[in-house]
Structure 1
Amino acid sequence: MTLTPESADWLQDISGATSIEEVHHVQTLWSGYGQILRVRLNQPHWPNQASSTDASKFTSVIVKQISPPALEEQGGGHPRGWNTSQSHHRKLRSYEVESAFYSHHARRCEASCRVAKCLGQADFPSGQIMVLEDLNQAGYPVRHQGLDATGVDQGLRWLANFHASFLHTVEQADRWKDLWPIGTYWHLSTRPDEFDAMPSGELKDAANKLDNRLNQSEFQTLVHGDAKVTNMCFATKPNTPPAMVDFQYVGRGCGMKDVAYFLSSCVSESECQRNESRYLATYFEALRNAMSTRGIEQAEFTSLEISWRKLYPVAWADFVRFLEGWCPGHAKLTGYSRRMVESALDSLDDQHGHSHSD
């Protein structure tokens, strides 16, 4: 697996490199939709980069080559067998969304919610190509499968700063129309096959109501949409916030979707149970500080915190709904996630059963 000749010519052209030194395969994209490569360049000077300091420093870059298989050729490409036309079109759209995020929105992300710099994008007959800064070269070479308390806090702070950067009102929804109207890869309207496969029961019956509560939250931001620990790149320098990759499912939503999903990806059930209040306190403290530095008033933060804390179990339940249809024996279907589902279902009952204002 290597660069296609047309991609290699184009990369040399946009980077000003005298040659391409090495190409290493990093990983194949989900369901065989392309590949990620690390490419070493000889003496690049990046004519499209504004500052001269940037112009020569990107000697190593990440190239994301998207070359989807034709639907009829997919066969058993999906690890769990979900090869449908809907799934194919969702993946194609996800790469368009990622391209739009890097082109139009990523510049809002500061050091507190670091993302890779996008150095170039193009479409070829063989597929789409995206060139990104190599975060390993930029000082973020550490990857984790699970996290200790410090790592969890760093991840939650990244999310809080990202969410603060993209908070908006319903009237401002149009500014994100090139992204998913509802962020996350598991949201209900894009997962009818998995919903049909769910066992019947209370959670399935309540799926639409839970989805609506998240979508109609008064406070909306952009959610990363796949904020798992393996998409975080940690720095070698202590106390440096991590960087995040993989923005295929970024879109509007309640920040709790990212928080619940992130915690499900990096800490055990017992740690989630034991430290839930501390994790949420860390996130909301970071969010308050980030909103404050962006000139958002304390009163608005207080309202948002009250609203989003109530939606934390709802976000968990929404993710569990997806897992129950997609992979019923999944390791994330724990006692803790079940308790979150019960709490979310109880909150729906409270809404309907009481007339008092909460």
Structure 2
Amino acid sequence: MKPEHQDLVLRACSASSLRVGATVQTLWSGYGEIVRLHLEGCDRPSVVVKHVKFPEEAAHPGGRNTDRSHARKVRSYQVETHWYRNYHTDPSCRTPACLAVCSHGDEMLIVLEDLDAAGYDQRWTSVKDREIKACLRWLAHFHALFLGVPPEGLWPVGTYWHLETRPDELEALDHAELKAAAGAIDEALNGCVFKTVVHGDAKLANFCFSRSGEDAAAVDFQYVGGGCGMKDVVYFLGSCMDERECEKRVPGLLDHYFTALKRSVKKKDVDLGALEREWREMFAFAWTDFHRFLLGWSPGHWKINRYSKQLTEEVLLKLKQKKQLSF
């Protein structure tokens, strides 16, 4: 760690010294790393630092190193920096507090509260009902908090698979009907009356849990932006359940999400019934939208399953019927 970066952390935390600890993870395609720093002389035992350094040549796992891909990643870190500087949540949708941010040249540094020290020290690769519902409540509170809030400085349309930012994947898509319908699906999602700010990458790996599993906190806001809340919900559910679990459990879990959402909306002028009806209809559209991306990005991905294909067929049929009615 550069001396100037160390000085930034020490000043931000009023610490007398620091020690570089373990690497929490490396960033996608070799764009830096996340490390834990141990502090002395202040009331924080540790912080987590996201250190972004744009590589001269990115090492994309799939070999898809393009100027477009690089520009998207650079923009994503700029958005995340803006998010931490300018947006704040509340305890019902916990995120790490941002202690300092700096950006210079091809490097960015985000100094964050250590969620482990704050009591969210559990990470899971597989979860049970309790943890799934904790994440759905987090998403419901988050979507309620930012309902109707313009995504200023963020992605105009959130999520990393948004159609406009993924022309290469659309071109590679070997499903003629879905390829032709991609624009209509995107238009349906973007045309929602009720919009919020979506996390944009709400997979299980981006949630941290309390010891009890009853509470969750979220990290990684590179693709935060405007949109329909169902985008986060479908991406999260697809990240932690297989096709059989989805077929069996999605209806009840959606009920749990919407119950939490309606309890969390504080704006009195919101028609909660209309909100739920619109977003429930968009569930299959949001799932199909991500399925479209996966088919173009990684046709052999494990998330391409019977459940996803079934929802896609339902959406394509709806669009076909709508088109017939318009003539």
Q: Normalised by the shorter chain, which TM-score bucket?
A: over 0.9
Aligned match for 2:49, one of 63, 66, 78: 63
Residue 13 of structure 1 and its aligned partner are, at CA, apart by 2.6
SS class of match (2:222): coil
Query: Map of 1:187-202 to 2, 5 A cutoff?
Result: 187-202=162-177
Whole-angstrom distance in 1 between the partners of 2:106 and 2:61: 24
Determine if the alignment matches structure 1 residue 322 to structure 2 residue 297: no
Q: What fraction of aligned residue pairs are identical, expressed as a percent?
A: 45
- TM-score, normalised via structure 1 length: 0.88
Q: Structure 1 pair 350/308, CA: closer, same or farther in 2 (3 Å)?
A: farther
Once the two structures are superposed, what CA deviation does each residue of 1:243-269 show, in whole Å capped at 9, x if it has no partner? 000000000000110010000001121
CA offsets 1:292-347 (integer angstroms, 9 cap, x no match):
xx1435x6110011111111000011001100110000000000000110111122
SS at match of 2:101: strand
Identify the residue that residue 81 of structure 2 maps to in structure 1: 99
**Correspondence 1:282 to 2:256:** yes
Residue from 200, 210, 230 that aligns with 1:225: 200
**Residue of 299, 303, 321 corresponding to 1:350:** 321
Segments of 5+ residues of structure 1 without an aligned counterpart are 45-55
Q: Which secondary structure state, in structure 2, belongs to the residue aligned with residue 248 of structure 1?
A: coil
Report the equivalent of 1:248.
Answer: 222
Q: Which residue of 2 aligns with 1:296?
A: 268
The whole-number CA distance in structure 2 between the counterparts of 1:43 and 1:340 is: 55
1:12 pairs with 2, 6, 10, which one? 10
Partner of 1:164: 144
Contact 2:158 2:226 in 1 (8 A): yes
Encode CA deviations 1:140-168: one digit per residue, 9 max, x unaligned: 01111122111111111111110000010
Asked if the contact 2:134/2:213 (under 8 Å) is kept, the reply is: no
Aligned residue in 2 for 1:143: 123
Determine the structure 1 residue equivalent to 2:39: 41
Structure-2 change in CA distance of 1:68 and 1:276 (3 Å)? same
Q: Which amino acid aligns with 2:147?
A: L
- Contact in 2 for aligned 1:146/1:265 (Cα 8 Å): no
Where do residues 252-263 of structure 1 align in structure 2 (5 Å cutoff)?
Answer: 252-263=226-237
Which residue pairs with 1:48 in the alignment?
none
Displacement after TM superposition at 1:125 (Å): 4.3
State the Cα deviation string for residues 258-293 of structure 1 (Å, max 9, x = none): 0100000011210100112101101111101011xx
Distance in 2 separating the partners of 1:209 and 1:100? 31
* Structure 1: distance between partners of 2:235 and 2:267: 28
Using the alignment, how far apart are the partners of 2:22 and 2:318 within structure 1?
Answer: 50
Q: Alpha carbon RMSD of aligned pairs, Å?
A: 1.4
Number of equivalenced pairs: 326
- Residues 184-216 of structure 1 deviation map (CA, whole Å, 9 limit, x = unaligned): 000100001111111142111100000000011
Q: Offset at 1:21? A: 2.9
Partner SS for 2:271:
helix
Change (3 A) 1:256 1:126: closer
Task: Return the offset for 1:95.
Answer: 0.6
Separation (CA, whole Å) in 2 of partners of 1:81 and 1:325: 14
The answer to whether residue 276 in structure 2 is matched with residue 305 in structure 1 is yes
Deviation at 1:23, TM superposition (A): 2.4
User: Which residue matches 1:51?
Assistant: none
Whether the 8 Å contact between 1:33 and 1:66 is mirrored in structure 2 is: yes
Structure 2: which 5+ runs fail to align? none
Kindly indicate whether residue 311 of structure 2 is the aligned counterpart of residue 340 of structure 1. yes
After superposition, the Cα gap between the structure-2 partners of 1:268 and 1:200, relative to the gap in structure 1 and judged at 3 Å, is: closer
- Give the corresponding residue for 1:131: 111
Q: Is the Cα contact below 8 Å between 1:24 and 1:38 reproduced in 2?
A: yes
Provide closer, same or farther for how the CA distance between residues 195 and 238 of structure 1 changes in structure 2, counting only shifts above 3 A. closer
Q: How big is the shift at 1:126?
A: 5.4
